[in-house]
Structures are given as C-alpha cells and as structure tokens.
Chains A and B, each alone.
Chain A
C-alpha cells in the first residue's frame, strides 16, 4: 500500500578534486563567472573570498543563482538524469529541478572554488521501505493496479526532501 508522495534530492559537490568532463566544465565556467559577477559586490576590490563578500554585503548571496546561468547548458547535457546516482539495477534517476549553490570561492585561486548542484526529482510514490532501501514509483500510480517501480538505497548526498503521507483506506467487513 503506497505510503506517501515524496521528492528525492541528490546533492553533487564539485571542487578542484572532481574528475569528469561535466564536473570540470561546471567548475571552470562557474569560476569564470564568479570572477565577473562578484565585482558588483566588491567595488573597491578589497575582498578576496565569497565569505568576505557575503559578510560585507548580504546581497552577494545572489551569486548562487547568478552563477547558475553559466552552467545551465552543461546541466542540459545531463538530459534530466542525476549524475552518479543509480537505482539498484544501475538505472539513472530522473530530476526535475537542478539548484546550483556556490559553497566557497576565492578570487585569487580556482583551487578554493567549491560548488554544488542539488537535483530534485519530480513527485514519486513511496511504496515501501526496507532498512536503507526505498521502493518508489512515478506519481501516477493507482491503488490496486500494477506500477513500475524502482528500488534505491539511501546514501550520502541523497535525501527525501518532500513528504506527503497518503490516507490509508482500510476495508471493513460488516459482521
């Protein structure tokens, strides 16, 4: 019996130690954009790090979404599939919304540049859970009918970020 409507989110952190073309492209493009877009929050050039920019002007938090535009076309190459996350059969998991975050950076070195993309799935039906494992299906399941499901292990970086319990209907027998 379906338990809840959920959304899963997977957070991918990238920095200079990351391998893979996607990660390198995201890191490089977002750093170049940081060098440009941080200037409006650093008119005298006094600050070097993202933390310093934010401490001086809270509006520097806009850099999270301002930098996201520089990596949008790289995210499109993922074709809606969360990188490095698979279900128990090795199949990819689809995401609906990618959210970019600037974790840290430094105008003097890309080595300090650290970003993350959190990929959130569309609504899924949580059918069941066994220990670390979730059994989920796409949201258009109907009670009493067969549904295509997948099993996925909870792991570092993966969370349930939205949970809407389903009303459980119990069949009563009139005696």
Chain B
C-alpha cells in the first residue's frame, strides 16, 4: 500500500520557524512485519534473515521550507508493538530527536486486513503499546494525520518540533 509522508521540521525555540537542512531518517518493517538488515527475526513467515538488505530505510534532508517527503509503503506489524515508523532527526550532525509515529487504528486495520498484507489486524492496540500508550495525549501527539484510501494509497503528514 503506497504511503507518502509529508513532514515538516520546525524549531520550537524560534516561534516554530522552519528548520532547513535537517536530516530525517526513517525506517520501518515490511508488509509482513520484518526489517531489512538483520537476522533471526521471528514472525508470521517464520524466522527470517535480511542481512545485507536495505529496503524501507532511508533519509531525506529538509528543504528551504523545512519540508521532507518520503515515498514508502504502509508498514505491516509484528507481535508486541503497535504499527509504527521510526524517525531520527539530525541538525548539523547532532541528533536532535529519536521518535516513532503510529497511525489511526481504523486505517491500519483496514490496510492489514487487505489482500496486500497478512490479512489479520495488529494484536497490539495503539493504547496498549509500550511507546504510544503512556497517555491519550501522547498517543494523539504521536499519530500521523492521514488522508487517502485503500484504493489510492495514503498520505501521512506530521510536523516535528525540535528545540534548537
């Protein structure tokens, strides 16, 4: 399922003015819940090794408007975690933010039940996740805004506030 991420990086110490040239790294699992790059992952297809592979990992640098965009796919899921994407943000080669974002469960469930994915919904609900489930406010603040459909794919938007 195509997923476009339109992200913005702003400086919370400067009236949320945009941050240019920020390096934004993302990585997430494939439709079956596996990550590229390492071995011994257990999951719905058994134990898998994807050593030496780099899919679904990359970075972009924010432009003059503070924007970065990624063309990726909607992540699958694996046991014990809500559906998520990992992010790191570097400014002037200094790590400024390490975080994860999740999705509306209504949308995730529809995607994961589709024939493109495993056909089963994530057994870990967002509110029960160890990272997102601290509070309803935290969960809301760590959820991508989504638009789109199963037929057309989705666009997720989010603004990262970092204190520089």
Contacts and interface: CB of A to CB of B under 8 A. Distances in A.
A69 B52 contact: no
B54 interface: yes
Interface in B136-163: none
A75 B51 CA distance: 13
Given A97-B51, A99-B51, A99-B52, A69 B37 contact: yes
Nearest to B35: A65
Nearest to B90: A36
B134 interface: no
Instruction: Please report whether the interface of chain A is mostly helix, strand, loop or mixed according to DSSP.
Output: helix
Contacts of A36: 23, 90, 93, 95
Q: Interface size for chain B: under 10, 10 to 19, 20 to 34, or 35 or more residues? A: 10 to 19
Given A72-B52, A100-B52, 7 more contacts: A40-B95, A65-B37, A68-B54, A69-B37, A72-B54, A98-B51, A99-B52
Contacts of B51: 65, 97-99
13 contacts: A35-B93, A36-B23, A36-B90, A39-B94, A65-B37, A65-B51, A69-B37, A69-B54, A72-B52, A75-B52, A98-B51, A98-B52, A99-B51
A99 B54 CA distance: 12
A99 B98 CA distance: 26
Contact of A65 (B23, B38, B94): B38
Interface residues of A, number: 14
A65 B54 CA distance: 10
A100 B88 CA distance: 22
B48 interface: no
A168 B35 CA distance: 40
B62 to A, nearest CB: 16
A117 to B, nearest CB: 9
B31 interface: no
A68 B52 contact: yes
Contacts of B37: 65-66, 68-69
Interface in B93-118: 93-95, 98
A39 B52 CA distance: 23
